[in-house]
Structure 1
Amino acid sequence: MKIIALEEHMLPRDVMQSAGVDLGDRAGKRAAELDDLGAARLAVMDDAGVDIQVLSALSYFVQGLEPEGSISVHRELNDRMAHTVVTYPDRFRAFAALPMTDTSAAVDELTRCVDELGFLGAMIHGQTSNIFLDHPSVRPILAAAVRLDVPIYLHPAPAPAVVQEAYFSGLAPEVEACLSTSGWGWHAECGMHVLRMVAAGVFEELPDLKIIVGHMGEGLPFHLDRIESMLSPVITGQSLTVAETLRRNLYLTTSGYNSDAPLLCALAAFGVDRVLFSIDYPFGNSKQATSYLASAPVSDVERQQIAHGNAESLLRIGAA
């Protein structure tokens, strides 16, 4: 079975060092795997049966840099991914990293990456300097994605300091770090981020905008009926309900989730056409993820859709 994995991270040590960025404990423990774009990564892919990784820079470390530093760092990250794709054309594709503190530069970089480097879209990590993607200042970036006909992968990122302090302080440092990120906080905020975009009318203005979220939908499938009954009645003047909008504009990946309940919930809420396979490399276990995919309680046709068919359709990935 062909397998395409969509949320597979990289972060070159030398680029981060030149930017003066500390990866912290969590990403720091994976620094060698994030840095490697060759033999070691390919060995993990081969062992797990992954045919193609769609690379993405773990760029929330630099997404909020001031424009004068951000533009060059993001260009270097994208050039590094592009070199990897050219070196291993059958094994890798890429999502662009964007300098979100300079809207015009972000539009230019997305356009360069898609038109010149052949990238499949972009990955944006949460809010930038307390600005979410529903803010009017960000609209040119989203409009560029529509014009280029590529998706935006919305990945979680650390919460603003005021949220961090209010919700997650007062705990043991390791517990606070996990609870505020991969243990809960990231997913709650990313799901809320998508709902802000719906409520603000982003998808009414840009009905062809395609957004991908990972982690089996960041809680949205589980809460969708409640969202529809509570939130839709208070959002007026839109042509679709919240659930209808999400089912039109949102795609989900399995990244980091390898069990029946969340998968079946995502399939029931959004349909198999909207669910794509991901691992969350190097934070997710590649062999575990592909083994679960092979045994998941879905039909063979659905398994093929999740494994590669939906990615090929959405991202226009040809045969490897």
Structure 2
Amino acid sequence: MKLYALEEHFVTEDVIDAWRRRDPGLTEPMMRWAVASELTPALLDLGDGRVAAMDDAGIDTSVLSLTTPGLQNLAAAEAVALQAPTNDLAAAAVRRHPGRFRGFAALATPAPAAAADELRRAVGELGFDGALVNANSGGRSLDAPEFWDIYEAAEDLRAPVYLHPSVPFPAVTESYYRGFGTPVDDMLSTGAFGWHYDAGLTVLRMILAGVFDRFPGLQLILGHWGEVVLFYLDRVAAMDRLAGLRRPIAEYFRANIFITPGGISSPKYLRWSLETVGAGRIMYASDHPFNREHAGSARRFLAEAPISDEDRARIAHRNWEGLVAGIRR
């Protein structure tokens, strides 16, 4: 059983420098964790250390992606200047480790037209398998029409877009995720809950804004078992008659959205996802290095899951291979 992992993060020294210039105090938790924590060496490693960690986890191929907030919190000119060098660096790592690494493009979403052009270059020239974007950019949610150039390019290329969480907008963070001290506040606003609520809401906004009606071939990948919203689709259906969409909202999840665990190896969430969207819409992601799999635990999660061998193969490799087989390079 070949196992692909689709949410496997890295960072570069140039991106770290850009974050420091923008925010010398590194007030955003993810920047602080990426720049000045025990995770930093693993994020910078695009070589043998990462491959060894994959071997330990039982992962055959990792799809590399620039960690959040990526280039999306930078001024447009700086983001544009960094996107090609960042992708070139990742592409070089893929060439050094053929079969072990693949790539998702980092995009300068503050300049959507330039981001769309870079997506075409990354897929067509570098051989990348799509892009990873974070849920908001420059104070705008990614459902906003100015970002639709990116989705148009992705649909045209038949290349998937992985939608990753990002820290909620400052006003939301201040209102909902403060008051318990920095360590708790940071985790509440990110990996414990805030990230997932925010990303799930972003996907709902994309559906309601008509993104998938305008780009019906667009394929989105959503981590962390669907970022909360997957568990509320029966309730969300109350908007079906109000939204003026071509299909019920749940149908977009079954036709345009893939789900990954994003590092949450939960049999309960796997069962729910199988019931909700089916095995043909689930793939694997380990969330390295924020989640560390050891001693074959990534492979063991699927190997021991109470599912059929056919569904196991779909989740481990067949869904991904089928998705990227249609990319127009």
Question: Which TM-score applies when normalising by structure 2?
Answer: 0.92
Report deviation, 1:61.
Answer: 4.4
- Do 1:11 and 1:59's aligned partners in 2 also have CA atoms closer than 8 Å? no
Q: 1:57 to 1:200 in 2, by over 3 A?
A: same
Query: 1:227 and 2:236 equivalent?
Result: yes
Query: 1:57 and 2:29 equivalent?
Result: no
Report deviation, 1:235.
Answer: 0.9
Aligned counterparts of 1:199 and 1:317: Cα–Cα separation in 2: 27
Equivalent position of 2:257 in the other structure: 250
Aligned counterparts of 2:91 and 2:160: Cα–Cα separation in 1: 18
- Do 2:63 and 2:103's aligned partners in 1 also have CA atoms closer than 8 Å? yes
SS of residue paired to 1:101: coil
Aligned counterparts of 1:226 and 1:65: Cα–Cα separation in 2: 36
Report deviation, 1:286.
Answer: 2.1
1:186 to 177, 181, 195: 195
- Do 2:71 and 2:109's aligned partners in 1 also have CA atoms closer than 8 Å? no
Give the total of aligned pairs. 316
- Residue by residue, what CA displacement relative to the aligned partner does 1:270-294 show, whole Å, maximum 9, x if unpaired? 0000000110000112233332122
- Residue by residue, what CA displacement relative to the aligned partner does 1:205-254 show, whole Å, maximum 9, x if unpaired? 111111111011111221111111x1212112x22111112211111111
Give 1:119-158 correspondences, 5 Å limit: 119-158=128-167
Aligned counterparts of 2:31 and 2:201: Cα–Cα separation in 1: 25
Equivalent position of 1:292 in the other structure: 301
- Do 1:156 and 1:187's aligned partners in 2 also have CA atoms closer than 8 Å? yes
2:111 to 89, 98, 102: 102
Equivalent position of 2:17 in the other structure: 17
Bigger mean CA offset, 64-73 vs 139-148: 64-73
Report deviation, 1:107.
Answer: 1.1
Aligned counterparts of 1:145 and 1:103: Cα–Cα separation in 2: 12
SS of residue paired to 2:20: coil
Instruction: Give 1:256's aligned amino acid.
Output: G
Aligned counterparts of 2:326 and 2:250: Cα–Cα separation in 1: 28
Report deviation, 1:13.
Answer: 2.9
Equivalent position of 1:212 in the other structure: 221
- Residue by residue, what CA displacement relative to the aligned partner does 1:61-106 show, whole Å, maximum 9, x if unpaired? 4312112211122222111110001111111100000001111211
Instruction: Give 2:301's aligned amino acid.
Output: Y
- Do 1:11 and 1:58's aligned partners in 2 also have CA atoms closer than 8 Å? yes
SS of residue paired to 2:264: coil
- Do 2:223 and 2:259's aligned partners in 1 also have CA atoms closer than 8 Å? yes
Instruction: Give 1:195's aligned amino acid.
Output: L
Q: 1:87 to 1:249 in 2, by over 3 A?
A: same
Instruction: Give 1:68's aligned amino acid.
Output: A
Aligned counterparts of 1:309 and 1:71: Cα–Cα separation in 2: 34
Query: 1:201 and 2:207 equivalent?
Result: no
Give 1:43-54 correspondences, 5 Å limit: 43-54=52-63
Aligned counterparts of 1:276 and 1:8: Cα–Cα separation in 2: 13
SS of residue paired to 1:286: coil
- How high is the sequence identity, in percent, across the aligned residues? 39
Query: 1:278 and 2:285 equivalent?
Result: yes
Superposition RMSD on alpha carbons, in Å?
Answer: 1.6
Question: Which TM-score applies when normalising by structure 1?
Answer: 0.95
Equivalent position of 1:4 in the other structure: 4
Report deviation, 1:296.
Answer: 1.1
Structure 2 alignment gaps of length 5 or more: none
2:248 to 241, 245, 249: 241
Aligned counterparts of 1:65 and 1:100: Cα–Cα separation in 2: 9
Equivalent position of 1:89 in the other structure: 98
Q: 1:26 to 1:76 in 2, by over 3 A?
A: same
Aligned counterparts of 1:244 and 1:18: Cα–Cα separation in 2: 40
Aligned counterparts of 1:19 and 1:182: Cα–Cα separation in 2: 20
Report deviation, 1:317.
Answer: 9.4
SS of residue paired to 2:217: coil
Q: 1:19 to 1:133 in 2, by over 3 A?
A: closer
